[in-house]
Every structure is written in structure tokens, then in C-alpha cells.
């Protein structure tokens, strides 16, 4: 079965990420050169993972290096935090949840369900995606640091 991804679906998550960073973290996001990778190892240490089902099956990952995630926490919560504090991953999860909610609004009228985000921390963690589906990687930069949006899904309906 050939793998297809719809650019409108990917753009919904890119726009949602930019909106959340601008409104909640007061930081403008610029995009780098999009690339493709076949590895399921994430770009960075901390990832918010959004599952997709319905007409598209797969996931969207917002992946942060530790420094960027800590800066995002500070912008979001107004204070510094130890990465081992449970509030740290909760806040990254909440930012990811807001991105998912924003994307869901942009995808209104389409038969796509967005699951509750999961947050994972650890070097070189792997994220499951549909078989034979590559990850589209969108590098991002803002005043808080670099991060990446990684998208891997297969459309099951045209």
C-alpha cells in the first residue's frame, strides 16, 4: 500500500504549534528546511506525542532538547523547574495538548480523531509509527531554542 500524507494535515500541526508558541509562550516560531527520516528515534530528549486515527493513522511528535523544554516551561509557568519535577513533564504535555486542540480546530470537518498527548523524556527514545511510513521533520527555532515537529501518518482515505 503506498504511503500518502496530506500537506493540509501537516500544515494544521505546524500552524497550531506556531499559534501556541506565540500566544502561550510569547515566542515566534520560524521553520527550517523540511527533511525526511526513516528512523523512529526522535530528534531530541523530550517529546509530546499526538496520536491520529480516522482518515489518517499515525502520530505527530513535538520534540525538544532539554534546554528548550526548560525555557518553554519557564515561559509557560513563569518559574524555573528541575527536569525531575513532575510538573515539568505535565507542562510540556499541556503545551502539546494545546497544539493538538489548535490542530483539531484547523482540521474541523475532516474525519480525523486526535488522541490525548503523551509526554516522554529520555535520550534517543523511539516513537512508533505505521509500518513503512517515514517521518517528515520540520525543524523549528524560536527565542526559547530549537525543537522539531515530526510527522508520520498514513491517509486511509483520499
Which domains does the chain show, CATH number per domain? 7-155 (3.40.1550.10)
- Three-state DSSP at 69 gives helix
Are 138 and 78 in contact by the 8 Å Cβ rule? The answer is no
Assess contact for 61 and 13: CB atoms under 8 A: no
Let me know: does 132 contact 149? Beta carbons within 8 Å: no
Tell me the pLDDT band of 150, cut-offs 50, 70 and 90. very high
pLDDT band for position 4 (50/70/90)?
A: low
Calculate what percentage of the chain has a pLDDT beyond 90: 67
In angstroms and rounded to an integer, the radius of gyration of the C-alpha atoms of the chain is: 15
What's the pLDDT at 5? 64
User: Does pLDDT of 156 surpass 70?
Assistant: yes
The pLDDT confidence band at residue 155, using thresholds 50, 70 and 90, is confident
Tell me: the pLDDT tens digits for 40-77? 899 899 999 999 998 888 999 999 999 999 999 999 99
pTM: 0.91
Amino acid at each position: 500500500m503506498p504511503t500518502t500524507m496530506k500537506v493540509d494535515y501537516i500544515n494544521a500541526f505546524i500552524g497550531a504549534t506556531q499559534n501556541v508558541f506565540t500566544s502561550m509562550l510569547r515566542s515566534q516560531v520560524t521553520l527550517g528546511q523540511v527533511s525526511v527520516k526513516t528512523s523512529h528515534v526522535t530528534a531530541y530528549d523530550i517529546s509530546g506525542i499526538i496520536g491520529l486515527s480516522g482518515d489518517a493513522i499515525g502520530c505527530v511528535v513535538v520534540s525538544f532538547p532539554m534546554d528548550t523544554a526548560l525555557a518553554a516551561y519557564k515561559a509557560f509557568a513563569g518559574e524555573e523547574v528541575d527536569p525531575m519535577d513532575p510538573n515539568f513533564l505535565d507542562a510540556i504535555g499541556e503545551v502539546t495538548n494545546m497544539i493538538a486542540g489548535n490542530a483539531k480546530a484547523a482540521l474541523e470537518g475532516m474525519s480525523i480523531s486526535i488522541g490525548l498527548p503523551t509526554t516522554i523524556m529520555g535520550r534517543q527514545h523511539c516513537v512508533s509509527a505505521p509500518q513503512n511510513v517515514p517521518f517528515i521533520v520540520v525543524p523549528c527555532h524560536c527565542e526559547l531554542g530549537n525543537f522539531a515537529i515530526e510527522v508520520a501518518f498514513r491517509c486511509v482515505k483520499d
